[in-house]
Amino acid sequence: MGRQIILKSPSEIKKMLVANQIVANTLELVEDNVKPGVSTWQLDQLAEKNCRKQGGVPAFKGYRGFPGSLCVSINEEVVHGIPSKKRILQEGDVLSVDFGVQINGFFGDSAITIPVGRVSDEIADLLKHTQQSLYWAIEAMKIGNRVHDVSKAVQDYIEGYGYGIVRNFVGHGIGSSLHEPPEVPNFYSGRQTPKLHPGMVLAVEPMINLGTEEVKVLKDGWTVITADKKVSAHFEHSIAVTEDGPLVLSRRQNEEF
Ligand code: MG
Ligand code: MG
């Protein structure tokens, strides 16, 4: 990661919108196909096909050797789960799906957590509140605010529910690289952070746990799980700071926001 925040021109933001809209329509397609009995590998295949037919390249595939197009993380898995024919979704599971696309030299990145059939009220609430924390973060992406105002928006809302905010993984700038400065934590470290300027594009991604904030990485070297094995939720959007307010590049058509 270089150190400088790279501001994007309006025409570059348009390219990022194209990438992010492939991400968005792919996540919608995956969501429509999540049901008990489906493997995470099947969802991965579906996503890759949908992406490539629009001219996009799945951004995670081969990234530091990651084998899938999607990151698919079930229940206590937080992020970076590997698609597998052996992982079959069951009623009551939750599935976090993270997807990235590259096209015309720019990246898109977004994630949603999807209930499989009926889930408990406790888990449904975790999903609802994690998504809402992302929306508060987006509202904080105004010119004049700083990156930590975005972080604090997540933290202030989430801490009221007593959930664990994952600290080991954070959001990021995005553009012609998948990960660019600045880091966008989901908590406030007390450190000074950059001001938000028009042309900044951030991937904001709260990872929120029912229990402890502590996580660990499985032996596969990728899958991050909660230390207490309680359920985790993850929502992410790529958002541009503009003179007219935050522009959610990865907004899904079915999204009421
Ligand atoms: Mg992502
Ligand atoms: Mg991301």
| Gap from CA of 229 to ligand 2 centroid (Å) | 23
Q: How far apart are CA 44 and CA 190, in angstroms?
A: 39
Indicate if the pLDDT at residue 257 is higher than 90. Answer: no
| Gap from CA of 80 to ligand 1 centroid (Å) | 9
Q: Write down the residue that tokens 């590259």 correspond to.
A: 102
**Residue 202 DSSP symbol:** E
| pLDDT the model gives residue 88 | 98
| Gap from CA of 234 to ligand 2 centroid (Å) | 10
Q: What is the pLDDT of residues 47-90, one digit of tens each?
A: 999 999 999 999 999 999 999 999 999 999 999 999 999 999 99
- Residue 256: pLDDT band (50, 70, 90) is confident
Q: How far apart are CA 230 and CA 76, in angstroms?
A: 5
Dihedral sign from CA coordinates of 133, 138, 139, 141: positive
| Gap from CA of 85 to ligand 2 centroid (Å) | 25
| pLDDT the model gives residue 87 | 98
What is the DSSP code string of 7-23?
PPPHHHHHHHHHHHHHH
| Gap from CA of 40 to ligand 1 centroid (Å) | 17
| Gap from CA of 184 to ligand 1 centroid (Å) | 13
| pLDDT the model gives residue 165 | 98
| pLDDT the model gives residue 1 | 46
CATH of 10-248, one of 3.40.50.1360, 3.10.129.10, 3.40.190.10, 3.90.230.10: 3.90.230.10
Q: How far apart are CA 87 and CA 89, in angstroms?
A: 7
What is the DSSP code string of 39-92?
BHHHHHHHHHHHHHTTT-EESSTTGGG---SEEEEETTEEE-PPP-TT-B--TT
Amino acid at the residue 195: K
**Per-domain residue ranges of the chain:** 10-248
pTM (2 d.p.): 0.97
Element of type H or E holding 241: strand 237-242
Q: What is the pLDDT of residues 100-136, one digit of tens each?
A: 999 999 999 999 999 999 999 999 999 999 999 999 9
Q: What is the pLDDT of residues 6-47, one digit of tens each?
A: 999 999 999 999 999 999 999 999 999 999 999 999 999 999
Judge residue 127's burial from the number of C-beta atoms within 10 Å of its C-beta, 0-12 exposed, 13-18 middle, 19 or more buried. Answer: buried
